[in-house]
Structures are given as structure tokens and as C-alpha cells.
Amino acid sequence: MAGEHEHRDVSGGWLRAAVFGATDGLVTNSSLIAGVGGGGGAHHTIVLTGMAGLVAGAFSMATGEYISVTTQNEAIHAEVANEKAALAQDPVGEIAELADTYIARGVSPATAKAFATELAASPKDALHVHVQEELGVDAQKLPGAWTAAISSFLSFSLGALLPLLPYLLGLSSLPVALAVSAIALMAAGALAALLTGRSPIQSGLRQLLLGALAVGATYLIGHLLGAHV
């Protein structure tokens, strides 16, 4: 149909959790490996540190996502309940409130009041619109807590595994591990562009720069401490 167009998903569902989970895994384990490697850690020490970082980080990310999404959804549901009660107790006042919202956006008073009054005839639709206008969310399309948690767990694990792969394959080479991390960070940044609409190249370079800062800082600290411990 003419005039129709699609939007990217900005609701914060599984894709957001997956992209940022993978990025966190990459940056966290790349930094851990760089810090231990910079301090002169042996092959088995780096592998042990990397695996511990992968498991601990994955569970931490999943737990954080679950609690965050659950808390947000519970808060929204509580506000929806409050709005439902307000519509039942003071329908006239709520009609006037919704009409005022549209009037403030440039709709004529007569049209805004007529729309708000007609909408009130359907309690379900009225609640849906009032919640959208007053809370700025669609309560019918909230992200799933378990979906976000599982997505975050798996993506963090994958991201954290990549810089560790060379060591798991028997290569005791920090430069190789960091090169793998750099390529993966570029790819993760490009993937994040799907959410933001930015240039994949710009997003990838930005992600690489931020990751390099974290890796460089932990390498320097590991190198300095390793020389005195």
C-alpha cells in the first residue's frame, strides 16, 4: 500500500541483548586475556582465566538481563493497572486528559474530544492508547525476560570464546588472539548498525576503538603488575 514503510525493531528484545552480549563478551575476555598475557601468564593460566571469565560473565549477563527486563515489565504492568483503575473511576477526566494531549500536538479541540470520547467506548482500546500516550510504551509488545536472558547468555559466551580460541587450539600467541578479537569487534559493531541505522563501517571502527582502549589499559596494567609480582 502506498505510504507504508517499515521500521527497525527498537523495542529492546532479543536482538539488542544478543548484539550487546556478544560485544561485552568480546571486550571482557579480550581484556582479561590481554591483562594476564601482558603480565607474562602461562598458556594454562590464560586458558583458565578466559574460561572463568566466559562462564562468570555469561551468567552475570543473563542474570542482569532477566532482572532488568522483569523489573521494567513489572513496573509497566503496575502503571497499566493504575491507568485501568483511573479509567474506571474517572472516565470523564481521562477523556479530557487524552483530548488535551492531542490538542497540545495541534489537533483541534473538537476533533481531539470526539476521538477521546469515541475511544472510551472500547475499554481495551482506550487503556492501550492511554498507556501509550502517558507511558510511551506498548504494553502489548514488552520484551520477554527469558528471551533476553538466554540470548544474552549465548551471545556473551560466543563473544568471550573468540579471543580464547587460539589458545584452545594450542597457539600461545597473544597477538593472534587480539587480532581475532579486533576482527570480531569490527563485525559486532557492524551488526549493531542494524539497530541504529548507522554506517556499518563507522559503527565497526567505533567498536574497535572502544575495545582497543579497554584491551590496551588492561594489558598495560598486567604488564606493570607482572613485572613486580
The predicted pLDDT at position 226 comes to 74
Which domain, by its residues, includes 210?
Answer: 14-82+142-226
Query: 179-221, pLDDT tens digit by residue?
Result: 999 999 998 888 777 777 778 888 889 989 999 999 999 999 9
Give the CA-trace dihedral at 90, 91, 95, 101, to 10 degrees: 50
Nearest to 16 by CA among 111, 135, 152, 140: 152
DSSP string, 188-218: HHHHHHHHH---HHHHHHHHHHHHHHHHHHH
Altogether, the residues listed in the chain come to a count of 229
Residue 121 lies in a domain: no
- Total domains, the chain: 1
Cβ distance 34 to 51 under 8 Å? no
Nearest to 192 by CA among 164, 214, 179, 211: 211
Rounded Cα distance, 91 and 84, in Å: 10
Residue 110 lies in a domain: no
Rounded Cα distance, 183 and 19, in Å: 15
Rounded Cα distance, 36 and 223, in Å: 8
Residue 7 lies in a domain: no
Poorest-pLDDT segment among 32-41, 63-72, 108-117, 189-198 = 189-198
Residue 34 lies in a domain: yes
The predicted pLDDT at position 44 comes to 92
Residue 130 lies in a domain: no
Residue 41 lies in a domain: yes
Query: 9-30, pLDDT tens digit by residue?
Result: 545 556 667 778 888 999 999 9
Residue 129 lies in a domain: no
Residue 99 lies in a domain: no
Mean per-residue pLDDT, 139-155: 86
Cβ distance 25 to 159 under 8 Å? yes
**CA dist 142 → 80, 165, 185 (Å):** 12, 36, 29
